[in-house]
Structure 1
Amino acid sequence: MSLQIIKISRPTKIELIRLRKRLALARRYYNILKDRETFLLQSFRDTYMRLVEDRRLLNKLLGEALNSYYTALSIHGWQSIIEQAGVVREEAVFKATYKNILGVWVYGFEPGARISPQPQLLPELAGLQRVRNDILTLIARIAENERALINIGMEISRLRRIVNTLEKVYIPRLEKTIRYLSMKFDEMQREDTVRTLRVKRMLEAR
């Protein structure tokens, strides 16, 4: 679809100057948004790599915890595990905060007080006690990174729409309008020059 020029009720040279200022501002705004999009893409990639690494480590720790749990279950039975679970009175608490990543607000999560070891628990659950605080920390980091990916991705999508509009529609229309008005004023100036020369020759002929 061909781009149409911007409609101007009374095209003047002052309006042409304003259009050139708008074009310069639009190009500068475009460059700023393009740079921000690049930085956000890099941040998105770094966050994704951290998320993958945290998930890999979480799976490893969960494997250790499950081995400890199933060992205790196979030795002492289900009823004993239920009784042992009632001994632990502490709850896992997470604190929610806000973080700003290149102008994008994301949630930050971190576990509260660390759960203290429970010496009265079965010895077979020692492996579970050893890794549970690390598991809670990783869960908080994974939740934070997943939320950050969603928010950064939405901001990148919004920036791309604006950048594409500037690049494909707004800036080309300004350039086309400026070219049209420049040609129009140049033509008017040539006509004035020719008219002036004709008047001058007529006056000289008298």
Structure 2
Amino acid sequence: MARKRVSPNRMELMKLKRQLMTACKGHSMLKDKRDGLMKNFLALVDETLALRKATDSLLAQATSAMGLARATMGAKQLQEASLQKGSKLQFNVSVKRIMAVETPVFEPLVSLETTVSGRQLPYSLAGTSSELDDAVNKLAEALPSMIKLAEKEKSLELMAAEIERTRRRVNSLEHVMIPELQAMIKEIQSKLSENELANQTRLMKVKDMIVEAAIRQQRAQMQESE
């Protein structure tokens, strides 16, 4: 990448030093944010894995119960019962902030415990087996875990994206912007030192010339007086 060309003067040097100070502060803040995000992300991963394990266990039981229902009722009768329209489950979706990341919160308008325990089956009990009732019960028991799992997995997805964005910004500051500013500052300081040395050299030459001219003038005056 071509380095930005700057004028080698003290005003530009002060400007670049201020930019470097701001970049270093931003780099430190972003590293803290990245580390905080990673800490929360890993804790959420542990929670999500435990919840997924519990949810998978509940769904395995429901799948097993549904298999028994299919064996006792037959696939066609089970399909007809499954296609019956049930009650809707409605949610409020809000957000909570984790290290400035907006993560979803799913809040059922009706308590899931009430929904699970006091629900009405969408199909007629006549012509269906108790195994189907058991399967539906187990699916209903798994519902709260499934909803919570969806909430946590979406939160993980959003946090992972934010961690990646923050990591890229940290790397950009650390490996591109800060070294570039440091290099420009060093270059200007070197140019200013060269200019100062050149000015001192010129001043010394001018001083020597003045002294030499004064000596010549003094010699001329002495010769005239003789």
TM norm structure 2: 0.73
In structure 2, C-alpha distance between the alignment counterparts of 1:138 and 1:118, rounded to whole Å? 17
Q: Percent identity?
A: 27
In structure 2, C-alpha distance between the alignment counterparts of 1:98 and 1:52, rounded to whole Å? 22
Q: 2:202 matched to 1:195?
A: yes
The unaligned stretches of length 5 or more in structure 2 are: 215-226
Aligned to 1:93: 90
C-alpha deviation, 1:134, in angstroms: 4.3
Q: 2:27 matched to 1:30?
A: yes
Larger Rg: 2
Query: Could you list the per-position Cα deviations for residues 70-95 of structure 1 after superposition, in whole angstroms to 9, with x for gaps in the alignment?
Result: 55665677758966996x95433333
Distance 1:90 1:104, change over 3 A: same
TM alignment of 1:73-152, pairs within 5 A: 79=77, 89-113=86-110, 114=112, 115=115, 116-117=117-118, 132=139, 134-152=141-159
C-alpha deviation, 1:190, in angstroms: 1.4
Q: Residue 154 of structure 2 aligns to which amino acid in structure 1?
A: R
Instruction: Judge which range, 120-129 or 154-163, deviates more.
Output: 120-129
Instruction: Judge which range, 28-37 or 91-100, deviates more.
Output: 91-100
Q: Residue 161 of structure 1 aligns to which amino acid in structure 2?
A: R
Q: Residue 162 of structure 1 aligns to which amino acid in structure 2?
A: R
Q: Secondary structure at the match of 2:95?
A: strand
C-alpha deviation, 1:54, in angstroms: 1.0
Distance 1:144 1:166, change over 3 A: same
Q: 2:64 matched to 1:63?
A: no
The unaligned stretches of length 5 or more in structure 1 are: none
Distance 1:5 1:124, change over 3 A: closer
Query: Could you list the per-position Cα deviations for residues 1-31 of structure 1 after superposition, in whole angstroms to 9, with x for gaps in the alignment?
Result: xx654212x4310110100110111111111
Aligned to 2:161: 154
RMSD of equivalent CA atoms:
3.1
TM alignment of 1:40-51, pairs within 5 A: 40-51=37-48
In structure 1, C-alpha distance between the alignment counterparts of 2:152 and 2:51, rounded to whole Å? 9
C-alpha deviation, 1:136, in angstroms: 1.8
In structure 1, C-alpha distance between the alignment counterparts of 2:176 and 2:130, rounded to whole Å? 69
Distance 1:59 1:93, change over 3 A: same
Instruction: Judge which range, 122-131 or 106-115, deviates more.
Output: 122-131
Q: Secondary structure at the match of 2:22?
A: helix
In structure 2, C-alpha distance between the alignment counterparts of 1:185 and 1:112, rounded to whole Å? 70
Match of 2:179 among 172, 182, 188: 172
In structure 1, C-alpha distance between the alignment counterparts of 2:158 and 2:95, rounded to whole Å? 12
Distance 1:119 1:151, change over 3 A: closer
Q: How many pairs does the alignment contain?
A: 202
Q: Residue 52 of structure 1 aligns to which amino acid in structure 2?
A: L
Q: Secondary structure at the match of 2:57?
A: helix
In structure 2, C-alpha distance between the alignment counterparts of 1:58 and 1:144, rounded to whole Å? 13
Aligned to 1:7: 5
Distance 1:201 1:118, change over 3 A: closer
C-alpha deviation, 1:172, in angstroms: 1.1
